[in-house]
């Protein structure tokens, strides 16, 4: 019996050394130590032994059981370590390899400059106002002192949804919304898309962008308008930039002016870029017409205001020396990636 026990021990060790996974280990445990296992079947024969032999064999059997159990535990540890090592090898990661670069989009030049302009005005205490692009005739024209049949409507033909709903031709419509909704002091700019039924060419597009400005308070004068625009242009084009006002007519301002900015190409001397003018037309502006104020429920005897509307495309084109507006809308990455 002693031999049989020792044989079991060496057999178990033998099998354990060949095993490589935990499932097979469990099978070995059952085979040698389980209820129907080899060790148990030997112990069952203990009754046949003499009284002297029994404790000796019993002790040996226990010893064999403990040894096999220990071997199994050790083997489990070894196999787990091997499996971990294998897993680490498989998942090896070289952190020194260059990563795959995510392509990051960038802002469109129109948005780059718009953000700049918004920052400049917010720095002067202006809020940013928003208004609808699909607009009633009333807000786009009538409230702005352009009744039906007013000749100035001809220059702003647009796309009509119904007789009285249209795609706005100017952000000036937002002036009316703002003045209807809040009382002075008002200090806003309102950037957005506007539409006109113009054919596409280097300087025209049926969709373009304007930035409207409106300030209404007690005692607002033309010099506030000039100071505000001067500051804007110096921030945009540099400290030695000058502006010039020319008398003009807009139905919603009185007096009205067109505002030119000194040609940054020639510094006012005159060149091909400014057609020898020395100045380039950039925006329309003026003092808000008393009729417009009262149309919006603001007493023109108490309050006055100035307004202006500038074309964003024009400013962007001047800023970057772009000579064809179509480039801004074609979304050609070769062009856009330059900004
Ligand atoms: N809305 C005018 C246009 O589209 C531009 C403009 C002129 C806006 C004078 C104004 C203004 O607010 O006071 O041509």
Residue-wise pLDDT tens digits, 303-332: 999 999 999 999 999 889 898 999 999 999
| 97 within some domain | no
284 CA to centre of ligand 1 in angstroms: 5
Residues 66 and 114 in one domain: no
In degrees and rounded to multiples of 5, residue 144 shows phi and psi of -90, 20
258 CA to centre of ligand 1 in angstroms: 9
| 95 within some domain | no
149 CA to centre of ligand 1 in angstroms: 19
Q: Into how many domains does the chain fold?
A: 2
| The model's pTM | 0.71
CB of 286 sitting under 6 A from ligand 1: yes
pLDDT given for residue 112 in this prediction: 97
82 CA to centre of ligand 1 in angstroms: 78
- pLDDT, average across residues 64-70: 85
pLDDT given for residue 273 in this prediction: 77
Q: 127 lies in which domain range?
A: 109-336
CB of 307 sitting under 6 A from ligand 1: yes
Q: Is the pLDDT of residue 117 over 90?
A: yes
Q: What is the CATH number of the domain that holds 141?
A: 3.30.930.10
CB of 303 sitting under 6 A from ligand 1: no
What percentage of the chain reaches a pLDDT higher than 70? 100
- pLDDT, average across residues 108-120: 97
Kindly report, residue by residue over 187-234, the tens digit of the pLDDT: 999 999 999 999 999 889 999 999 999 999 999 999 999 999 999 999
Domain end point (choices 90, 119, 143): 90
Residues 159 and 275 in one domain: yes
293 CA to centre of ligand 1 in angstroms: 15
Residues 35 and 156 in one domain: no
| 135 within some domain | yes
Kindly report, residue by residue over 222-271, the tens digit of the pLDDT: 999 999 999 999 999 889 899 999 999 999 999 999 999 988 778 889 88
Kindly report, residue by residue over 144-198, the tens digit of the pLDDT: 999 998 888 888 899 999 999 999 999 999 999 999 999 999 999 999 999 999 9
By mean pLDDT, which of 31-40, 133-142, 160-169, 176-185 is the weakest?
31-40
Q: Is the pLDDT of residue 122 over 80?
A: yes
CB of 309 sitting under 6 A from ligand 1: yes
């Amino acid at each position: 019996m002693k031999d049989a026990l020792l044989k079991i021990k060496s057999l178990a060790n033998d099998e354990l050394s060949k095993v490589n996974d935990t499932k097979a280990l469990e099978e070995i445990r059952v085979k040698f130590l389980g209820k129907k296992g080899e060790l148990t079947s030997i112990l069952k024969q203990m009754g046949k032994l003499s009284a002297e032999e029994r404790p000796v064999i019993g002790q040996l059997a226990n010893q064999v059981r403990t040894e096999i159990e220990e071997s199994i535990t050790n083997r489990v540890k070894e196999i787990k370590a091997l499996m971990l090592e294998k897993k680490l090898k498989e998942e090896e990661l070289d952190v020194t390899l260059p990563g795959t670069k995510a392509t990051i989009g960038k802002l469109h030049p129109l948005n780059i400059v718009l953000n700049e302009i918004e920052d400049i005005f917010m720095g002067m205490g202006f809020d940013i106002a928003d208004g609808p692009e699909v607009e009633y005739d009333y807000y786009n024209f009538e409230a702005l002192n352009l009744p039906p049949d007013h000749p100035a409507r001809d220059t702003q033909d647009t796309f009509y949804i119904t007789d009285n709903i249209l795609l706005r031709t100017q952000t000036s419509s937002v002036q009316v919304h703002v003045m209807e909704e809040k009382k002075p002091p008002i200090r806003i700019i309102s950037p957005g898309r506007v539409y006109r039924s113009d054919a596409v060419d280097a300087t025209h597009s049926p969709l373009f962008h304007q930035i409207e400005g409106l300030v209404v308070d007690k005692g607002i004068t033309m010099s506030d308008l000039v100071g505000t625009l001067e500051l804007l242009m110096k921030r945009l084009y540099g400290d030695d930039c000058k502006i010039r006002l020319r008398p003009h007519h807009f139905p919603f301002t009185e007096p009205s002016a067109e505002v030119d900015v000194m040609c940054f190409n020639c510094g006012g001397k005159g060149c091909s870029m400014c057609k020898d003018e020395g100045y380039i037309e950039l925006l329309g502006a003026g003092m808000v017409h008393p009729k417009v104020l009262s149309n919006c429920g603001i007493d023109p005897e108490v309050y006055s205001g100035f307004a202006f509307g500038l074309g964003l495309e024009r400013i962007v084109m001047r800023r970057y020396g772009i000579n064809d507006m179509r480039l801004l809308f074609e979304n050609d990455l070769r062009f856009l990636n330059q900004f």
